[in-house]
Amino acid sequence: MPVVVIGGHSRNVGKTSVVAGLISALPDLHWTALKITQHGHDIPATGEDAAAVPSWAVSEETDHSGESDTSRFLAAGAAHSWWVRAQPGRLADAIPRVREILAGAENAIIESNSILHFLQPDLYLTVLDPQTADFKASAQEFLDRADAVLLHAGPNAANPAWEKVSLPPIGDRPVFVIQPPQFVTPEIVEFVRTRLASSLASSRRKPQLSS
């Protein structure tokens, strides 16, 4: 069961659009999509006080309207779509449930950087926008594990707004230039399909999740 992870260096750089675009472009893979967020306010309380708020929650999306991110995945053609929420620093608590979901998936695509603490995907793509100065620590941490970079085109491509960020770890990786609203090009689709086919042919392995 191949797993693709889509990360990015900040919010609103197009991670969700890339996931939806790949789902739409590769419908034969019958994707199970997961979006992982680490914000405590997204987790429903189980009691009357703050102490009763759990460390994580997982819910399956059923709305095909495309109004939410996980709904966009279904609208794009995903077989299943899940929203995984965890308190900051508590994603490990949700990993057993994530393991169950992945075990039942034909192919999986996950929007997250932090999942890489627990999973070795078949393919990891990172989305970078030189015009967005914020650079998440998780994106920096896993930058050298990216199999390819999806780089926003724009006037700052050669002189990005990021501070204290070094890109040499990915200097030898394929770079696909994207121009919103087209976040997924035919070249990206072919790259993903080829890499997943190669992974299946060589090992037929499942991703290993740590406890």
Rg (CA), the chain: 17
210 falls within a domain = no
173 falls within a domain = yes
92 falls within a domain = yes
Q: Which domain, by its residues, includes 168?
A: 3-200
CA separation for the pair 106, 196 (Å, rounded): 12
pTM for the whole thing? 0.88
Determine the pLDDT at residue 43: 65
Determine the pLDDT at residue 207: 56
Judged against a pLDDT cut of 90, whether residue 128 lies above it is answered with yes
- pLDDT-based confidence at 120, cuts 50/70/90? very high
CATH number at residue 185: 3.40.50
Arithmetic mean of pLDDT, 160-166: 74
Cross-strand bridge partners of residue 59 = 83
- pLDDT-based confidence at 47, cuts 50/70/90? very low
206 falls within a domain = no
Look at the chain and report how many structural domains it folds into: 1
56 falls within a domain = yes
Locate the DSSP E strands across 134-182.
148-152, 175-178
- How does strand 123-128 pair with strand 148-152? parallel
pLDDT digits (tens, 9 = 90+) for 167-194: 666 778 999 999 989 999 999 999 999 9
pLDDT digits (tens, 9 = 90+) for 58-88: 999 999 999 999 999 999 999 999 999 999 9
208 falls within a domain = no
205 falls within a domain = no
Determine the pLDDT at residue 104: 94
Determine the pLDDT at residue 208: 54
53 falls within a domain = yes
Residue with tokens 């994707």: 31
CA separation for the pair 22, 87 (Å, rounded): 28
- Dihedral sign for Cα 137, 125, 61, 114, please: negative
Query: Which element (helix H / strand E) includes 108?
Result: strand 107-111
- Dihedral sign for Cα 69, 70, 74, 79, please: positive
